[in-house]
């Protein structure tokens, strides 16, 4: 018998005895519905149990002289091998399957709708890079992309492409497979790529001779996703992961055809609060090494033509100073928050860039809008600007900007809510910009614009279904006033003609952490709800940077609760203004957005009918006190360090796991992944177990664990739609049926 199956079978048999005993002891538990479940995972109608009730085992955690009892701490298993833990997760999955079996037909209908919006044959817009055109293609019925290239022609790719990597073939019988990144040597001969086979962000690095179509013997394990060739065509740079925390921390240099044991360490980051990554400058002159914490950046440049050189530090790290780099000739351009909380652009020579006194300001700070990204070309500077929850692109002639006479223009947008982004532009020696545009009603679209004339052409618009017509939908931008008077932008998508009469279900989505702005892009999956009368709402709450850096500062550390109260206040406002029915409001968020949803579940359960918590970060105190867990040290600047009593007390006051109480909760649909490195599976597992023990309602509470995936779910484009279809079927069955799922 397979070792995993053996552990699982023994664990299930053990857990059946445990759960049955627990249910006898807790006969008054509100989850009273019986579900058939056999010990070995097959159904047996002669055997019934109630909703899974995990054993409570006392486990005392101490900090600052205070004690907390965590009775579900035993659900943590770093190795993912403990039979009783795996069995508990499987029982939860089977319970979820049984409880939702009544709407399986609806789930299948939704799944077919969702995949009908995915084109069978599809391809990205090809881009030119060092003698070739590159693209990503999909074929009918296949889950994963195929990476291809063509020999370069003047205008567009010609003939049949050369296949570089077919992820479908590489996956084989694996449960999960995903290419992290790939790079081709400057002469076009050698291919290096990283692959993840367990969905944990742990990659292996492989090499192939594209001329001979021979894979090299050397394989490098335990690396991050990035890989880059130097300009000599045989030196390769990659980043190793720290063994325990999985933090990318070492840059290594490898020579093709040599033993991995001969690789040379280029740089090691000893501060666990920093992540290390590598990239290539747009002019192909440098390998850029970035060392980034939540609030601080340090960047090194390594001459790609002299890969044996020691990397040069651009600016030594200084707490609170964030910057990014673009190079053009002898000049180094910085996007920096030095004396500019919303960032500004400066430049100097490489030799003097470390001396702030030599900086020439190109673009000053805009106190009301955030410069989120930039790109430098031969004659133009392009800024990505977030202004009141929209992301726009601003073009500045470089000679005018350097002369201090900024004459800029913005790329046009015709909708009240939208998102533009700088797309793949591998070369700085061009006057044409590739960019993307999307809105809640306009599918992701690729454009090319002439930076001299402003003339643009549409290259591709994403498929959204044979019958999709954007004219059938309306996009609106509203403002909700939070309890402290702050104005929170809200983006809506709904069917034309819908009126705010208080009868409509609403799907309210939020995030609000890390300064990550939740911008109003196109979400084609959401059409399955909007077409059924839902209003889709995106709450641009504090904790992101939708209204500049201050919007982030007011939603982090000791201001974190503003994120939660903003979401609650938006929900109440949508109900008061008739956009959401009072008994049909669905709140949703993933990861740190799952923290938002789980905190809201404790703070204002009465305004939500259903809450969807995807891979939720819920056990804030315990996780942030444990520096062995991936990401913990990296995130002290976001949440605070609970070793400091002030932060401990504040974090404890909102930590969703710690704040569960004996009260009524909305219907809850929870997801997690066994191999999740960002939010460990045991956080939602413990949270669900504790909710079952404490909640006083009869509402549905289910958790689904993907036993083969991590933070982002499955690797296939169709596979992921099963997860979304199940979620939507759960929502629709509860809201549209007079008889609710579970009483």
Q: Which of 504, 554, 711, 742 is catalytic?
A: 711
Distance of CA 339 to the CA centre of its chain: 30
- Report the relative pairing of strands 203-209 and 190-196 from DSSP bridges: antiparallel
Q: SS3 of 353, please?
A: coil
Paired strand residues for 84: none
Closest residue by Cα to residue 262 from 252, 250, 248: 252
**End-to-end CA distance of the chain, in Å?**
40
Using alpha carbons only, how large is the chain's radius of gyration in Å?
26
Contacts of 258 (CB under 8 A, 6+ apart): 218
Per-residue tokens: 652? 């404890």
Rounded distance between C-alpha atoms, residue 533 and residue 505, angstroms: 7
Rounded distance between C-alpha atoms, residue 39 and residue 676, angstroms: 26
Q: Does the active-site annotation cover 722?
A: no
Rounded distance between C-alpha atoms, residue 496 and residue 548, angstroms: 32
Strands (E), 469-559: 473-481, 487-495, 506-509, 535-539
Q: Which of 588, 591, 655, 733 is catalytic?
A: 591
Positive or negative, the CA dihedral 547, 553, 557, 559 is: negative
Please report, for residues 595, 597, 599, the alpha-carbon distance to residue 565 in angstroms, rounded to integers and kept in the order given: 13, 11, 10
Rounded distance between C-alpha atoms, residue 726 and residue 288, angstroms: 42
Listing DSSP states for 411-447 in one string gives ----SSS-EEEE-----SS-SEEEEEEE-SSS--EEE
Rounded distance between C-alpha atoms, residue 544 and residue 554, angstroms: 9
Q: Which of 380, 676, 706, 733 is catalytic?
A: 676
Rounded distance between C-alpha atoms, residue 472 and residue 29, angstroms: 47
Q: Does the active-site annotation cover 254?
A: no
Helix (H) / strand (E) containing 687:
helix 682-694
Contacts of 274 (CB under 8 A, 6+ apart): 249, 291, 292, 293, 296, 298, 634
Strands (E), 524-595: 535-539, 585-590
Closest residue by Cα to residue 221 from 168, 263, 190, 257: 263
User: Which one-letter DSSP state was computed for residue 293?
Assistant: -
Q: SS3 of 730, please?
A: helix
Q: Does the active-site annotation cover 676?
A: yes
Catalytic annotation, residues:
591, 676, 711
């Amino acid at each position: 018998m397979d070792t995993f199956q053996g552990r699982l079978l023994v664990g299930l048999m053990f857990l059946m005895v445990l759960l049955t005993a627990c249910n006898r002891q807790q006969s008054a538990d509100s989850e009273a519905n019986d579900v058939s479940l056999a010990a070995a995972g097959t159904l047996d109608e002669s055997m019934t149990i109630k909703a899974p009730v995990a054993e409570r085992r006392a486990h005392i955690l101490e900090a600052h002289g205070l004690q907390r009892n965590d009775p579900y701490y035993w659900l943590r298993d770093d190795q993912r091998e403990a039979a009783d833990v795996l069995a508990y997760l499987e029982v939860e999955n089977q319970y979820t399957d049984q409880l939702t079996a009544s709407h399986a037909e609806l789930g299948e209908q939704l799944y077919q709708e969702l995949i009908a919006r995915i084109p069978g044959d599809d391809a990205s817009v090809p881009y030119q890079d060092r003698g070739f055109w590159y693209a990503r293609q999909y074929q009918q019925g296949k889950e994963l992309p195929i990476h291809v290239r063509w020999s370069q022609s003047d205008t567009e790719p010609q003939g049949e492409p050369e296949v570089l990597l077919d992820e479908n073939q590489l996956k084989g019988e694996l449960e999960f497979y995903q290419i992290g990144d790939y790079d081709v040597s400057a002469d076009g001969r050698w291919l290096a790529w990283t692959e993840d086979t367990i969905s944990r962000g742990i990659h292996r690095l492989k090499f192939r001779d594209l001329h001979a179509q021979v894979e090299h013997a050397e394989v490098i394990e335990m690396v991050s996703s990035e890989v880059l060739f130097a300009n000599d065509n045989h030196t390769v740079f990659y980043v190793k992961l720290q063994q325990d925390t999985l933090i990318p921390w070492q840059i290594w240099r490898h020579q093709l055809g040599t033993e991995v044991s001969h690789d040379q360490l280029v740089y090691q980051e000893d501060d666990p609060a920093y992540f290390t990554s590598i990239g290539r400058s747009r002019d192909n002159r440098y390998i850029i090494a970035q060392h980034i914490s939540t609030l601080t950046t340090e960047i090194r440049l390594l001459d790609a033509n002299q890969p044996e050189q020691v990397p040069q530090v651009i600016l030594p790290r200084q707490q609170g100073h964030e910057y990014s780099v673009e190079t053009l000739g002898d000049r180094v351009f910085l996007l920096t928050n030095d004396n500019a909380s919303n960032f500004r652009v400066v430049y100097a020579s490489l030799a003097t860039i470390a001396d702030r006194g030599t900086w020439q300001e190109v673009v000053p700070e805009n106190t009301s809008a955030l410069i989120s990204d930039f790109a430098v070309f031969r004659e133009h500077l392009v800024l990505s600007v977030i202004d009141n929850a929209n992301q726009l692109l601003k073009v500045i002639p470089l000679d005018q900007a350097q002369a201090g006479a900024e004459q800029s223009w913005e790329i046009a947008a015709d909708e009240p809510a939208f998102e533009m982004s700088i797309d793949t532009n591998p070369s700085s020696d061009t006057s044409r910009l590739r960019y993307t545009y999307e809105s809640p009603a306009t599918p992701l679209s690729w454009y090319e614009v002439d930076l001299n004339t402003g003339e643009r052409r549409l290259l591709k618009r994403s498929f959204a279904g044979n019958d999709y017509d954007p004219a059938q939908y309306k996009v609106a931008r509203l403002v909700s006033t939070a309890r402290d008077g702050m104005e929170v932008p809200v983006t809506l998508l709904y069917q034309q003609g819908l009126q705010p009469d208080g009868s409509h279900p609403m799907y309210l989505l939020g995030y609000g952490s890390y300064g990550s702005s939740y911008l109003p892009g196109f979400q084609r999956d959401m059409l399955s709800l909007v077409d059924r009368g839902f209003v889709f709402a995106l709450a641009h709450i504090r904790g992101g940077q939708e209204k500049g850096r201050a919007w982030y500062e007011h939603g982090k550390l000791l201001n974190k609760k503003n994120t939660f109260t903003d979401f609650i206040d938006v929900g109440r406002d949508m109900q008061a203004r008739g956009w959401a029915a009072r008994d049909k409001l669905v709140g949703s968020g993933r990861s740190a957005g799952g923290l938002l949803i789980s905190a809201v579940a404790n703070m204002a359960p009465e305004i939500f009918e259903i809450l969807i918590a995807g891979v939720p970060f819920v056990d804030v105190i315990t996780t942030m006190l444990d520096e062995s867990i991936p990401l913990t040290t990296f995130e002290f600047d976001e949440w605070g360090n609970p070793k400091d009593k002030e932060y401990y007390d504040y974090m404890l006051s909102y930590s969703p796991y710690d704040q569960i109480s004996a009260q009524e909760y909305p219907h809850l649909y929870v997801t997690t992944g066994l191999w999740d490195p960002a939010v460990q599976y045991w956080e939602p597992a413990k949270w669900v177990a504790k909710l079952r023990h404490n909640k006083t309602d009869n509402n549905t509470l289910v958790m689904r664990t993907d036993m083969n995936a991590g933070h982002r779910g499955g690797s296939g484009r169709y596979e992921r739609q099963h997860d979304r279809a199940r979620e939507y079927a759960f929502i629709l069955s509860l809201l549209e049926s007079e008889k609710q799922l579970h009483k």
